[in-house]
Amino acid sequence: MQPKILLVEDEVDLGNVVKQYLEMSDFSVDLFQNGKTAYEQLKANLVKYQIALIDVSMPEMDGFELANGIIKLGIKLPFLFLTARNEKTDRLYGLKLGADDYISKPFDVDELVLRMKNIIKRNTRSESISSSLIERGDVKFFKDSLKLVFSSGDEFILTPKESELLVYLFSNENRIIKREELLTQLWGENDYFLGRSLDVFISRLRKYLNKSDCISINNVYGVGFVFNVKTK
């Protein structure tokens, strides 16, 4: 089955060229020329996509607003930003939102296809873990709905990237996990921007897990983290 791609690009010529190339690379592509129309498609839940390619600068609803909308809808959809803006603050903000990647225009389409395939592969691997529920002590994590539930009654809906990171931590609990390992496993590479993004996601998970008496994330200075799980 062809991977289904959501492409949101307001530049008509570029959007059509990317769509045609992706279809030649054995993807099925739905092209939208503004974020609002794409959001309505996702909200209606008419089609399940494997990845979204989102232009940052668009009328009506820009790429960042669309990504926020995807997260609020609770849709488990990895996304990659396309942008003509090469500003550090934009890239960091996009990664903090949960973007799996960020590619600047003009870009090499072959590189784009390779990055997409890597993201889809990683996402598929995380979904292939047999059980949809992870339970440890006073914590339950429902992978299908991205819901983190505590015995105290507190509940949180995680972003897809937060969920992917949490699943990886659960599968490697009570051991030292190097930063480089997390970056290459979850983002496919290790660089400064992704390292900053990882710190943001770790900080968010720590905030959620403060509700637990059994689980914590501890720093190992200069190395990485330990996902501590206490058994009662």
CATH of 4-127, one of 3.40.50.2300, 3.40.220.10, 3.30.460.80, 3.30.70.1140: 3.40.50.2300
Q: Which of 214, 205, 200, 208 is nearest to 92 (CA)?
A: 200
CB under 8 A, 24+ apart: contacts of 14-18: 14/105, 17/109, 18/53, 18/109, 18/112
Contact yes or no for 208/148 (Cβ under 8 A): yes
pLDDT in tens, 26-77: 999 999 999 999 999 888 876 789 999 999 988 889 999 999 998 888 788 8
Lowest mean pLDDT among 3-7, 50-54, 119-123: 119-123
Residue spans per domain, the chain = 4-127, 159-229
Architecture of domain 159-229: Orthogonal Bundle (1.10)
pLDDT in tens, 191-201: 767 788 899 99
Mean model confidence pLDDT for the chain: 87
pLDDT in tens, 156-180: 999 988 999 999 999 898 999 999 9
How much is the pLDDT for 67? Answer: 92
- pTM, two decimals, is 0.60
SS3 103: strand
Half-sphere exposure of 77 (CA within 13 A, CB side): 30
pLDDT in tens, 90-116: 778 888 888 888 888 888 888 899 889
State yes or no: pLDDT of 123 exceeds 90.
no
Helix (H), strand (E), coil (C) string for 157-206: ECCHHHHHHHHHHHCCCCCEEEHHHHHHHHCCCCCHHHHHHHHHHHHHHH
Report d(CA 101, CA 107) in Å as an integer: 13
How much is the pLDDT for 39? Answer: 93
